Amino acid sequence: MACWHSVLAQTPATDASRPATSAALAIVGDVATPLTLSAADLKAMPRTRVEQIDHEVKRIHEGVLVSAILERAGVPVGAGLRGEALTTVVVAHATDNYRVAFSLGELDQGLARRDIIVADTTDGAALAEPQGPLRLVVPKDSRGARSVRMLVRLEVVRLATPPR
């Protein structure tokens, strides 16, 4: 039975051998500290491994929890995530202009208890084009539509307060 947790199987074999360009992830928008994290910065942060089944093959992705990256940028997480902060969305941007939006609450490990990561390796190897160098991995989704490949930016957007 095929499972759409990952798009690795959709990568043409000829592209898998070509290394992806240098990793850099920008965290912008409604953040206390805008950041650009290099591959070395991400490697130095606490790492998380997640498993996915892709066409009956277990894949192990490794990277950094999105909530840890957002916390480093000064975005409310954990106990600080409540009230107006819950009207925040995070838009993940790829180099090919693919975008996916998440509520801040679903990215917070303490609230949603989901290990959503920015991965830089799969099965112990660096992500090759067109998957990387960075990829958002959403392991509990039933399809891979929100696992953004070629990830370059996380944009934090606070929704406007409606008039009273």
Tell me if 8 is assigned to some domain: no
Residue that wins the pLDDT comparison between 6 and 47: 47
- Pairing state between β 117-122 and 135-137: antiparallel
Residue that wins the pLDDT comparison between 7 and 40: 40
Question: Which residues does 127 contact at the CB level (< 8 Å), separation at least 6?
Answer: 20, 119, 120, 121, 133, 134, 135, 149
pLDDT value at residue 43: 95
Residue that wins the pLDDT comparison between 107 and 22: 107
- The whole-chain average pLDDT of the chain stands at 84
**Domain holding 65: CATH number?**
3.90.420.10
Tell me if 50 is assigned to some domain: yes
- The Cα–Cα gap between 145 and 148 comes to 7
Query: Quick one: pLDDT band at residue 21, thresholds 50, 70, 90?
Result: low
DSSP state of 42: H
Percent above pLDDT 90 for the chain: 57
pLDDT for residue 14 is more than 60: no
pLDDT value at residue 116: 94
SS3 38: strand
Tell me if 119 is assigned to some domain: yes
Tell me if 4 is assigned to some domain: no
Residue that wins the pLDDT comparison between 93 and 57: 93
Could you tell me the two tokens for 86? 């819950």
Question: Per the structure, how many domains does the chain have?
Answer: 1
Domain extent at residue 93: 23-158
Query: Quick one: pLDDT band at residue 22, thresholds 50, 70, 90?
Result: confident
Please state the rounded mean pLDDT for residues 141-151.
Answer: 84
